[in-house]
Amino acid sequence: MGDSLMDGVTSIMLLPDDCLCFIFNFLDCRTDRESFGLTCHRWLNIQNLNRRSLQFPCSFGIVGPSSLSQSCTDINSFHLYRILARFQHLEYLSLSGCVEILDSALSYLKPYGSKLQTLCLDCCFKISDYGISLVGDGCPFLTTISLYRCSITDTGLEALANACLALRHVNLAYCSCISDSGLRALSQGCRELQAVKISNCRGVSGVGLRGCSSTLVYIDAECCNLEPVGIMSIVSGGGLKFLNIAGLSCSNFRNGLEAIGNGFAARLKILNLRMYRSVTDASIVAIAKGCPQLQEWNLALCHEVRVLGWASIGSNCHNLKKLHVNRWRNLCHQGLQAVRDGCKELSVLYMSRNSRISDTALELFKLYRCNVEIKAEEVMSIGPNWDSIDYDEST
């Protein structure tokens, strides 16, 4: 290079690879980054080595700059091998919607997937427990995995938990073949676990989370067959901040939610009880008193809560900012007044189709609490994204 400079000849091609990598990483524009690799084979190799994320377009995913153009339904084992061999420093890989991917394809993760931290296999219907065991073998540093609607059982979940001890975020929504046995292996084996989605897992009662780590701050168990002892197990770690048990389908207990307010969920900030129609005043009182940090509470369609419950919310929920009471049958003007007078931090009230609240009571609420926005919309999902949760011991 020195001789060339002495001759007065300069070229960007004379720069070493580390300088070219530095330049590539400063390119913000997608077009520029893609064009970089079209210059020559050397620059293409630099582009490949610096790619950190990759996803395939699918009907339910967001297609972003890290996507490839090939239809996800056409991706097979050979394609995955070529992709992993080309991009050997991937940290994020989404194969969601690649319905033709077989277990055998995941064997290529062992030589090429050691740096993967996030793997999404949503709706990869042909992936079984064996495939998940291959993921464990090939991705020991995995921190996030999404297995939405995958056909795995407790066996696969146990293999994953034994191999990927650093797991923090796990999505098992609609994995109908898992039970508390698999959850127990996960919660006991992965002590850095922070977020778990088990929504619509009908074989889960919640007891598999007994003794979970205090780092577990997010649990989505919507439409699960939870039992009272399962509720106690879910909050047993003491670090929970977000809990979604909307559509709770268990009908053999009425006051089982009192466990949430027994002291183990004192750090809870967001609670979704939407469509739990049999929740009682006793449970509401216990939660209101035992969860002083509660900031958002969804009680839409929880018809059994009456004045006593609302009075407790007004008296104890001093940090409550958002309250959902859509389509309530038993919210009357006394309950609305308790919320109005007690919840000083309230900023948004979601309320619609309530025949027991008069126009006068509603106008008085607006007069006394003009800073509170009343919205008629019904929000189905609340809280942060499951895969963006971070454990913070100070909050």
What's the pLDDT tens digit per position in 229-240?
Answer: 999 999 999 999
Q: Please say if the pLDDT value at position 294 is more than 80.
A: yes
Q: Please say if the pLDDT value at position 69 is more than 50.
A: no
Instruction: Report which of 302, 300, 245, 301 is spatially closest to residue 268, judged by C-alpha positions.
Output: 245
* Domains of the chain, CATH where assigned: 18-50 (1.20.1280)
Question: What are the pLDDT digits (tens) for 90-119?
Answer: 999 999 988 889 999 999 999 988 999 999
When pLDDT is cut at 50, 70 and 90, the band that residue 9 belongs to is low
For tokens 């696969």, what's the residue? 156
Measure the CA–CA gap between 276 and 301, rounded to whole angstroms.
7
Measure the CA–CA gap between 18 and 20, rounded to whole angstroms.
5
Q: Looking at residue 55, what is its pLDDT? A: 85
Measure the CA–CA gap between 158 and 194, rounded to whole angstroms.
18
Measure the CA–CA gap between 11 and 9, rounded to whole angstroms.
7
Measure the CA–CA gap between 64 and 43, rounded to whole angstroms.
23
Strand segments, DSSP code E, in the chain are 53-55, 92-94, 118-120, 144-146, 169-171, 195-197, 218-220, 242-244, 270-272, 296-298, 322-324, 348-350, 373-375
Q: Looking at residue 66, what is its pLDDT? A: 46
Q: Looking at residue 68, what is its pLDDT? A: 45
Mean pLDDT over all residues of the chain?
87
When pLDDT is cut at 50, 70 and 90, the band that residue 132 belongs to is very high
Q: Please say if the pLDDT value at position 26 is more than 80.
A: no
Q: How far apart are the first and last CA of the chain?
A: 55
The more confident residue out of 20 and 213 is: 213
Measure the CA–CA gap between 114 and 121, rounded to whole angstroms.
17
When pLDDT is cut at 50, 70 and 90, the band that residue 58 belongs to is low
Q: Please say if the pLDDT value at position 5 is more than 90.
A: no
Mean pLDDT throughout 271-300? 94
